[in-house]
């Protein structure tokens, strides 16, 4: 406690309230040192309580360069347990060092963490993105972790999914290699199995958002050699996430900077976000952009895995329960396709990987994706072990069932089981397109998205909006939902909802309808209702 008290004095809390949002704390970087220091303490306490390694990542992901943030990983590699978010909020908002010490003591008592013990054997893995403020904030995190008496393994620049992957690998029993090299090797070797002798159809162009994904993708490509042809753009010279990256491409539905029509017409393109935990594909034809968002990726993955399960011999492996998890942002056409054409169960959760991940864990094979490109496929441990233990001669020439089994084994190693990962996601999309001998048009033809639009409304206090029913309806202000309902009812195939963002200081509005014009109109009308009921003094902005 003494060490915490000494160190805490160097990280005074600025004025204001810090709140643990959709994926941790996120705000203007200069306000964050005290919060990050305290998150260091918290994630060290979590490691001590669990007697296993945890993780801390310095990143503000899709936000602009001036922002930063912190994401926390549990020993499973998943996001910090929701039950501990309360502690995170309490620690971040303690006004004085004494108050902080009191809260730490409370947590230790409640969670039965002994004051002394074999602390130095417990480790927190630390990673950071390429923001200018990230190295300084990593130092604040180290101070917090060490003040709590726990060892730091500083891994330097990493993508968020790499950090989560390495935490999971660190804690696996029996132990798995937990080096970046092992991560790349696992992705590269499983991709090799998946693509076999299939040929790619030309180079894919990657928009790396000027983020940490650029150098990591380049390393991955060096491991793959001629197996994957890719050109990386927005590789770090320009401004992070500015008119580029997965969030920009998906929300604006515009080409990112460094991509133009007609030069890039017909090319297969993919966009990562600032910390490479999201991906969306896109293409451009005659100046018009086609988006292949998280929903389209979920459909592609679901049908591919479904086909593999049909190809293996009937039994415990083929009879896996398969389900898809989405949020309210999922395009209505994708949900309909997954339910009716693929015949799969669809669950809907509130926004946030932490919710989707938990819901996906209920299935033997749980595919989860947010429309914004966050997602992965989870394999239940017992089911995955059956697949890995199933005998194969290792000879792909032995027939369809053998090949399918080898591919399922490769999928278990390719797909990040801790959190959605743009690098492994790109490899899986590329492998499936090759396997199907598909161009993007073939993928696009699976179903037609309803036109959709997202807007941001800037209000004085976004917390004024409270939602319910997986964020599809507004609870407060009470007179807002009836207005939205009446508006939506006037549009054919209309659907709209609003929710406060947990990463940006805005309220988000989503709308879809039968035509592009109707969608635009519906989105603006709903945004106006939101502004009228919760807008106070600030102006309305749209993206």
- The number of C-alpha atoms within 13 Å of 529 and in the hemisphere containing its C-beta is 26
**Is residue 508 part of an annotated ligand binding site?**
yes
Please say which residue, 332 or 502, places its beta carbon nearer to ligand G16.
502
Query: Contact with ligand G16 (CB under 6 A): which of 90, 146, 370, 525?
Result: 370
Residue 160 has which token pair? 């968020």
The reply on whether position 131 binds ligand G16 by CB under 6 A is no
Helix locations, 120-272, DSSP H: 134-147, 160-171, 180-195, 213-224, 246-252
Residue 358 binds ligand G16 (CB under 6 A) = no
Number of residues that bind ligand G16 (CB under 6 A): 18
372 is in an annotated binding site: yes
Specify the stretch interacting with ligand G16 by CB under 6 A; choose among 253-261, 307-315, 342-350, 498-506.
Answer: 498-506
| Phi, psi values for residue 462, rounded to 5° | -70, -20
Looking at the Cβ atoms of 352 and 425, the one nearer to ligand G16 is: 352
For ligand G16, the binding residue among 13, 38, 46, 62 (CB under 6 A) is 62
Binding pattern to ligand G16, positions 271-310, x when CB under 6 A?
--x---xx--------------------------------
**Nearest distance, CB of residue 374 and ligand G16, angstroms:** 5
* Whether 384 contacts 408, CB under 8 Å: no
Assess 508 for contact with ligand G16 (CB under 6 A). yes
Q: Is 30 labelled as part of a ligand binding site?
A: no
Residue 133 within binding range of ligand G16, rule CB under 6 A? no
Residue 295 marked as a ligand binder: no
Establish if 13 lies at the interface with ligand G16 (CB under 6 A).
no
Euclidean distance between CA atoms 67 and 90, whole angstroms: 22
Interaction between residue 374 and ligand G16 (CB under 6 A): yes
Which residue number, 368 or 379, has a Cβ lying nearer to ligand G16? 368
Least CB distance to ligand G16 at residue 300 (A)? 20
The answer to whether residue 250 forms part of the interface with ligand G16 (CB under 6 A) is no
DSSP 24: B
61 catalytic per annotation: yes
- Binder to ligand G16 among 4, 8, 23, 427 (CB under 6 A)? 23
DSSP bridge pairs for 280: 271
Quick one: tokens of 541?
Answer: 């902005």
The tokens of 153 are what? Answer: 């393994």
Nearest of 223, 200, 183, 196 to residue 394 by alpha carbon = 196
Q: Determine, following the binding rule CB under 6 A, whether residue 19 of this chain makes contact with ligand G16.
A: no
Q: How far is CA 39 from CA 8, 280, 509, in A?
A: 12, 31, 31
Our finding on whether 503 is near ligand G16 (CB under 6 A) is yes
Q: What is the 3-state secondary structure (H, E, C) of 342-401?
A: CCCEEEECCCCHHHHHHHHCCCCEEEEECCCCCEEEEECHHHHHHHHHCCCCCCHHHCHH
Instruction: Give the whole-angstrom CA distance, residue 291 versus residue 440.
Output: 10
499 is in an annotated binding site: yes
Catalytic one of 61, 186, 190, 302: 61
Q: Which of 302, 372, 376, 481 binds ligand G16 (CB under 6 A)?
A: 372
- Please give the C-alpha separations between residue 384 and each of 368, 387, 389, 490, in angstroms, as whole numbers: 17, 5, 9, 48
243 φ, ψ (degrees, to nearest 5): 55, 30
Annotated binding site for substrate: 370-372, 499-503, 508
Q: Which residues bind ligand G16 (CB under 6 A)?
A: 22-23, 61-62, 273, 277-278, 351-353, 370, 372, 374, 501-504, 508
- The catalytic residues are 61
Annotated binding site for Mg(2+): 61, 273, 275, 277
């Amino acid at each position: 406690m003494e060490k915490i008290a000494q160190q805490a004095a160097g990280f005074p809390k600025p004025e204001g309230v810090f709140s643990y949002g959709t994926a941790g704390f996120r705000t203007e970087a200069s306000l964050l040192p005290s919060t990050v220091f305290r998150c260091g303490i918290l994630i060290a306490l979590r490691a001590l309580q669990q007697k296993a390694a945890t993780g801390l990542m310095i990143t503000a992901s899709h936000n602009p360069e001036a922002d930063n943030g912190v994401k926390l990983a549990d020993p499973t590699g998943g996001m910090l347990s929701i039950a501990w978010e309360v502690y995170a909020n309490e620690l971040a908002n303690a006004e004085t060092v004494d108050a902080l010490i009191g809260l730490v003591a409370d947590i230790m008592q409640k969670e039965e963490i002994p004051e002394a013990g074999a602390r130095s054997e417990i480790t927190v893995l630390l990673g950071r993105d390429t923001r200018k403020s990230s190295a300084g904030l990593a130092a604040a995190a180290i101070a917090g972790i060490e003040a709590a008496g726990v060892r730091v393994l500083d891994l330097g620049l990493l993508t968020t999914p790499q950090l989560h992957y390495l935490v999971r690998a660190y804690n696996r029993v029996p132990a798995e290699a937990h080096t970046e090299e092992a991560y790349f090797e696992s992705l590269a070797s499983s991709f090799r199995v998946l693509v076999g002798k299939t040929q790619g159809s030309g180079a894919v162009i990657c928009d790396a958002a000027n983020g940490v994904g650029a150098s990591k993708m380049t390393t991955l490509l060096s491991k793959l050699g001629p197996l994957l042809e890719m050109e990386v753009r927005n590789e770090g010279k320009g401004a992070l996430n500015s008119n580029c990256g997965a969030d920009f491409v998906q929300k604006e539905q515009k080409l990112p900077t460094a991509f133009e029509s007609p030069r890039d017409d017909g090319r297969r393109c993919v966009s990562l976000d600032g910390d490479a935990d999201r991906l969306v594909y896109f293409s451009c034809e005659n100046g018009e952009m086609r988006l292949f968002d998280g929903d389209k990726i979920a459909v592609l993955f679901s049908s591919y895995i479904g086909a593999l399960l049909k190809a293996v011999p009937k039994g415990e492996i083929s009879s896996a329960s398969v389900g898809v998890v989405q949020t309210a942002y999922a395009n209505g056409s994708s949900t309909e396709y997954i339910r009716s054409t693929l015949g799969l169960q669809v669950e809907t959760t509130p926004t946030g990987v932490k919710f989707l991940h938990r819901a996906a864990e209920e299935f033997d094979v749980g595919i989860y994706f947010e429309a914004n490109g966050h997602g992965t496929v989870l394999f239940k441990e017992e089911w995955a072990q059956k697949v890995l233990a199933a005998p194969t001669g290792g000879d792909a020439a032995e027939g369809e069932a053998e090949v399918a089994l080898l591919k399922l084994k490769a999928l278990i190693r390719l797909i990040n089981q801790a959190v959605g990962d743009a690098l492994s996601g790109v490899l899986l999309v590329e492998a499936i397109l090759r396997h199907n001998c598909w161009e993007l048009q073939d993928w696009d033809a699976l179903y037609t998205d309803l036109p959709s639009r997202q807007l941001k409304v800037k209000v004085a206090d976004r917390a004024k909006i409270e939602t319910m029913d997986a964020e599809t309806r507004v609870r407060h202000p009470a007179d807002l939902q009836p207005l939205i309902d009446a508006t939506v009812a006037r549009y054919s195939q209309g659907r709209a909802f609003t929710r406060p963002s947990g990463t940006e200081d805005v309220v988000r509005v989503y709308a879809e309808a039968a035509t592009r014009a109707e969608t635009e109109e519906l989105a603006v009308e709903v945004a106006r209702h939101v502004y009228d009921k919760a807008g106070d003094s600030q102006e309305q902005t749209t993206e």
